[in-house]
Chain A
Amino acid sequence: DAKTTQPTSMDCAEGRAANLPCNHSTISGNEYVYWYRQIHSQGPQYIIHGLKNNETNEMASLIITEDRKSSTLILPHATLRDTAVYYCIVRPRLTGNQFYFGTGTSLTVIP
């Protein structure tokens, strides 16, 4: 079952940073936070994941609060191609490698 809460939708101006929040208040100590996005009618695309520390890669940055109860995905310079549904996933600890998707945030980048 999904263990995350995300806003249903967000808008962001092209060229600006997009900050997508995720609440995972029941996260366990060794559960990772993953972010994926899905562009319409395609398979989801991996973005980033982390455990405790903030992470950055060529696509985005992941900021995890010290208590690990929430995180924020940051797209530093949003483009129109970043319009997608963004999913924050907490990977279950006891049930193997399964990934359960919540409802996600529909991000619209506006020209």
Chain B
Amino acid sequence: GAVVSQHPSWVICKSGTSVKIECRSLDFQATTMFWYRQFPKQSLMLMATSNEGSKATYEQGVEKDKFLINHASLTLSTLTVTSAHPEDSSFYICSAYTGQGGTGELFFGEGSRLTVL
């Protein structure tokens, strides 16, 4: 299957700093990528849809100024958690969709675990 890579796998930062997480599709071009957040023992929550060359679409309740998304190319999307606080500590997962309509598959990165001290 298609490969989606995230970096870093884990990061620890101080409260008030910003953290950038990269998501790359290694063997296919992804016009659309998605960012999810997952708290312990909970399901994945869709945060935003990242569209190449345009602004991201955020889900209700997700602060766009807090979670900056940039989809600079067909193989790279970045999520920046700005002024991180301990409550932002979570598992962040990106994904990329390979198809058109309903026929494609969604491939996920390995996830990035953020811990804010």
Contacts and interface: CB of A to CB of B under 8 A. Distances in A.
B43 interface: yes
Contact of A31 (B44, B45, B102, B113): B102
Interface string B59-102: 00000000000000000000000000000000101010100001
A91 B106 CA distance: 11
A103 B49 contact: no
Contacts of B34: 97-99
Interface residues of A, number: 26
A34 B111 contact: no
A58 B36 CA distance: 27
Contacts of B104: 97
Contacts of A44: 44, 93, 95, 108
A96 interface: yes
A49 interface: yes
B102 A32 contact: yes
B114 to A, nearest CB: 13
A87 B109 CA distance: 16
Contacts of B25: none
Contact of A42 (B4, B103, B106, B111): B111
B1 A103 contact: no
Contacts of B106: 34, 36, 46, 97, 99
Contacts of B45: 101
Given A98-B34, A99-B106, A43 B93 contact: yes
Give me the 5 closest cross-chain CB pairs, A-B, nearest first. Answer: A43-B108, A32-B102, A101-B44, A97-B97, A101-B43
Interface of B: 1, 4, 6, 32, 34, 36, 43-46, 49, 91, 93, 95, 97, 102-111, 113
